A and B are shown apart, each in its own frame.
Chain A
């Protein structure tokens, strides 16, 4: 079945540091890939998405590229801020099968210190 594996946290960075959170997936067909962010005490917010190979999703300085050859969708940001502290979830949806439930990784907690 479909699955997502993302790097274990927590990740602690100083403000303005470079961020990478690794995400790899296993899926049949051609899934859509997502990064969601969860701030303390809140639900999930869509951060970015990519629907086909080599697509790059971007939002708020975050980027991720859909790499079919390595089945990866790593999240990057060039300069993190304290306000980026949150839990980040990588997810996929096997849309080509007509079934849209999201499959999530376990999440990576990011703490940015000033």
Chain B
């Protein structure tokens, strides 16, 4: 079975630009969560979506938004990029209440 997939794998943007990251969950998983991992730190929770509705939101500014589609895939959008948004963005999927499985991540560099 395919695991969680994310695209793109790497991305370079400049300050002020917008970025969209994509995630496809494991087949049968209806919940998707997004995490930001800054270099040298543990992942920080950004959003959780279940059945296309936001279930939880971490302590991130409104520049960060997300959505989930009918096929349970998800997008994370970040507007007005800052240098500090440079990080590895991880997507995780789960059957709600069970273990979260992570994708390989999208490495974003903001110049």
- Is A106 touching B56 in the complex (CB atoms < 8 A)? no
Closest Cβ of chain A: how far from B15's Cβ, in Å? Answer: 25
Compute the total of residue contacts between A and B using a CB distance below 8 Å: 60
Q: Is A42 a contact partner of B33 (Cβ separation < 8 A)?
A: no
Residue from A4, A36, A103 in contact with B45 in the complex, judged by beta carbons closer than 8 Å? A103
Q: Which residue of A lies closest to B104 (CB)?
A: A43
Q: Which stretch (B60-68, B70-78, B79-87, B91-99) binds chain A? A: B91-99
Q: Which single member of B40, B88, B97 contacts A100 (CB below 8 Å)? A: B97
- Who on chain B is nearest to A90 by CB? B42
Closest to A44 in B: B102
Size bracket, chain A contacts:
20 to 34
Q: Does A13 contact B (CB under 8 A)?
A: no
Q: Could you tell me if A49 and B99 are in contact, using CB atoms closer than 8 angstroms?
A: yes
B90 engages A106 (CB within 8 Å)? no
Which residues of B lie under 8 Å from residue A4 when comparing CB positions? 42
Chain B hits for A105, CB < 8 A? 42
Q: Say yes or no: A44 contacts B43, CB within 8 Å.
A: yes
Contact of B43 among A93, A99, A104 (CB under 8 A): A104
Give the residue name and chain of the A residue nearest to B42 (CB).
A104
In the complex, A98→B58 CA distance in Å?
Answer: 15
Is B20 in the interface zone, CB < 8 Å from A? no
User: Is B100's beta carbon under 8 Å from chain A?
Assistant: yes
A6: nearest residue on chain B (CB-CB)? B42
Partner of B58, one of A34, A101, A106: A101
Q: Is B105 an interface residue (CB 8 A)?
A: yes
The answer, yes or no, to whether A95 is at the interface (CB within 8 Å) is: yes
With a cutoff of 8 Å between Cβ atoms, the chain A residues found around residue B31 in the complex are 100
Which residues of B line the A interface, CB within 8 A?
4, 6, 31, 33, 35, 40-45, 48, 55-56, 58, 88, 90, 92, 94, 96-97, 99-105
The 6 sampled A-B contact pairs (Cβ below 8 Å) are: A43-B90, A89-B43, A101-B56, A101-B58, A102-B33, A106-B40
